[in-house]
Amino acid sequence: MILPHRPLRIATAAILSLAIAALIASVLWAIFAAATSAVAPSRIDIPHLLRMTTLQAGLTTGLSLIVGIALAWSLNRLRFPGRDLVVGLFAAAIVTPGMVVAFGLLSIWGRNGWINQALNAVFGVTVESPAYGLGGILLAHVILDGAFAARILLARLDAIPANRLKVGQSLALSAGQRFRLIDWPALRGSLPGLGAIIFLLAFTSFPIVLLLGGGPANQTLEVAIYSAVRLDFDLIGAVRLALTQMAVCAAVIVLASAFTAVPTALGRSAQPTWSDSRFARALQGLVLALSVLGFALPLIWVLVDGVVGGFGRVVAQPSFWQATATSIGIGAASAVLTLLLALVLALGRAAAANSVARTLLGVPAYAYLAVPAVVLSLGFFLLVRNVGLPLGAVSPIVVICANSLLALPFAMATLAPPLDAIVRTKGKLLRSLNMSGWAQFARIEYPLLGRDIGLMLALSFCFSLGDLGVIALFGTQDFQTLPLLMYRALGSYRNNDAAAIAAILLIGTIVAFVGLPRLIERLAHAPRQ
């Protein structure tokens, strides 16, 4: 494998990786330094929590990937009115505040959900709700992460070049053969990165685990860290737990990076002329129908509930419009910053031939996801104070940076596989043309990546739009985002207001997911002067 020689790309990515690692280290150090007196040792059963959390995260990852592949496969083959909207809705789940998704889920699957209400009306019986305990956590996580996986994998399937499909069709491949020969090679490059992200998300999941977990038996390490910081004020214990969590997560990331295979498919998807057998089509229809029931209904309920609820009262509040403007501004700034960071890292990774170098360039981007939100915001808070900056003035900057870093793994999972595929499939051509690095990006990578960049921008914009972790410590009365406003409304009995804000957030998210990829693709393929 001979890659184009790009030392500058590798160097820039290495510097950025080091900077991120240094930031994480200084956040932890700031907390460690602030811990003045030793308090009573934490009363936390770490091995038990680790076991529980790993089991839950492992199950979530496996299930989500299976669901994601099945769903992406169905969506790639089927064409129907409203398909874009469904795809947008699936992508929306992951970036919607976890609480909103959890309540949407309960409205369908809960003790008093639609399913039980229907059963009660028709048969006069109700069933035990599956929405609580480990089953409930897995259900909620698979809805979030499975739908997200489907969205990312669909982008890979849609990028299979039309000529490859033509050849496959002329060979009369069955649905199973096509999946093995054409789809799987296109998907497999994304699976390790996706799997790592889903594992990290599930491992550090907090609101959902607490809402649906049923109690302390199903808790994560993140809960213990929160309690060490808030209840015991045991900062040293919190750092120790955070390091434990990061070590486990880092092991998973390194493992995932080691297994990363390079996808082979790349191109622009034409309308598929592929026709599967009747049985395969029926199966695809069934998968889609079940997914819409499982994934889309909870979110649709959020929309309906919000519009029926306190919509009028919310839009009459000046603070709502202020929060909307703040959210959009922070989301846009985070999205651009994430794009820059992800491009630098992903281009550097793609240019590196050595697998150790590739891992080192990838790990810091993911590692950030493993830092507990409470530790993160506390560390940032202390850093800002230690430097002596006024908290009010730098809050927006801290929130933008933190949100960008949180969205970075998602951005990497979106951009790294196609960039890898470009240099590996077109590396010879690039070398023979003796192209400069800039020309390679402007003429080859950017045009081919238009849709992926759009998806990534949408992801990080919405990620920031729905973030509740960092803003919670840096928000004030004058600086609040929509999720924070929603949370504050919930804390003051104003559930209708909160429902309306949740619906508005969701609408914004779907619009971003449907619109941005198309927009950027159009820009990327605009005729050049």
Binding site for another protein (CB under 8 A): 34, 40, 43, 99, 103, 106-107, 110-112, 132, 206-207, 210-217, 223, 226-227, 229-233, 317, 319, 378, 381-382, 385, 472-473, 475-477, 484, 487-495, 498
Residue closer to another protein (CB basis): 242 or 350: 242
Question: CA separation (Å) from 440 to 156, 416, 435?
Answer: 21, 16, 6
How far is the C-alpha of 90 from the C-alpha of 95, rounded, in Å? Answer: 10
- Given the complex with another protein, which of 43 and 518 has the nearer CB atom? 43
Distances (CA, A) of 217 to 50, 52, 134, 373, 440: 12, 8, 9, 22, 53
Nearest approach in angstroms of CB 40 to another protein is 7
**Shortest reach from residue 407's CB to another protein, in Å:** 22
Q: Alpha-carbon distance 94 to 92, whole Å?
A: 6
Q: Report in angstroms how near the CB of residue 257 gets to another protein at its nearest.
A: 33
Residue with smaller CB distance to another protein, 33 or 526: 33
Q: Say how many Å lie between the first and final Cα of the chain, rounded.
A: 35
Q: Rounded to the nearest whole angstrom, what is the least distance from the CB of residue 402 to another protein in the complex?
A: 15
Q: Which is nearer to another protein, 88 or 379 (CB)?
A: 379
Nearest to 208 by CA among 295, 114, 135, 108: 135
The smaller minimum CB distance to another protein, of residues 82 and 491, is found at 491
Token pair of 497, please?
A: 């207001």
The residue among 223 and 371 lying less far from another protein, judged by its C-beta, is 223
Give residues with Cβ within 8 angstroms of 409, minimum separation 6: 193, 196, 197, 200, 365, 366, 368, 369
CA neighbor of 295 nearest in space, from 117, 195, 145: 145
Q: Which is nearer to another protein, 30 or 147 (CB)?
A: 30
Burial of 139 (0-12, 13-18, 19+ CB in 10 A): buried
Question: Distance between CA 287 and CA 285 in Å, rounded?
Answer: 6
Measure the CA–CA gap between 193 and 413, rounded to whole angstroms: 6
Nearest approach, Cβ of 306 to another protein (angstroms)?
Answer: 14
CA-based diameter of the chain, in Å?
74
Query: What is residue 273's three-state secondary structure?
Result: coil
Closest separation in Å from C-beta 246 to another protein: 22
Question: Which of residues 120 and 355 has its CB atom nearest to another protein in the complex?
Answer: 120
Q: Residue 517 CB, nearest distance to another protein (Å)?
A: 34
CB of 201 to another protein, least distance (A): 17
